Amino acid sequence: LARAQRRRRLAANARERRRMLGLNVAFDQLRSVIPNLESDKKLSKSETLQMAQIYIATLSELLH
């Protein structure tokens, strides 16, 4: 039983690592299209989402 639990835990950990890798790739892609005045500093995930929101709102205003 303990061996099966360990195997399930290892599989779950591997799935979580893949999920986080995919999420981090998506954040990197988002960072690459957001204008950033401090381009030498990598934006945090929170900063990336905030900047994306501002950028989208700005683009939306330009269209209307």
* Rounded Cα–Cα distance for residues 43 and 4 (Å): 41
pLDDT for res 13: 98
Query: In the chain, what are the domain boundaries?
Result: 2-63
Q: What is the CATH number of domain 2-63?
A: 4.10.280
List per-residue pLDDT tens for the chain, 64 residues long: 799 999 999 999 999 999 999 999 999 999 999 998 777 889 999 999 999 999 999 999 999 8
The pTM (predicted TM-score) of the whole model is 0.83
* Rounded Cα–Cα distance for residues 33 and 27 (Å): 10
| Contact partners, residue 52, CB within 8 Å, separation at least 6 | 30, 34
